[in-house]
Amino acid sequence: MENFFAQFNGADLDRLALCIQAVRKAGLQIDKYAQAGINQGSGNVYIWSEDWAGSVYCSICMDVSWLYSCSKCGEEFDFDTYEECSAFASECNEHNGHCTSCIDGE
């Protein structure tokens, strides 16, 4: 089994800590099914769980945001808080999983 922390270097650990703080602030749990890592395309550090409405990430500028990714079209939406992200996800669920981009594109 690979060491979980081997993927994080320098400021990546600080960014992971900020993500953990955001998860705790949102009242969410990090369980054995949660995943954390570094997005190779953007360099963002993230934590994701299938039990959450979205994932939290921290950019290389140390900005923390919540991300909702539409399962229908792949469009991504950023939010300042988990509450905003969760409310948006609920709206999408009311439209059969379609986000605002899916609905506008129909």
63 SS3 class = coil
Residues of the chain where predicted confidence (pLDDT) is lower than 70: 1, 104-106
Q: Which two tokens stand for residue 28?
A: 């969410």
Distance CA 93, CA 74 (A): 15
- Radius of gyration over every alpha carbon of the chain, rounded to an integer in angstroms: 14
What is the DSSP-derived secondary structure letter of residue 4?
G
pLDDT, position 99: 87
92 SS3 class = helix
- Domain coordinates in residue numbering, the chain: 4-105
Beta strands at 35-38 and 55-58: parallel, antiparallel or unpaired: unpaired
pLDDT, position 106: 55
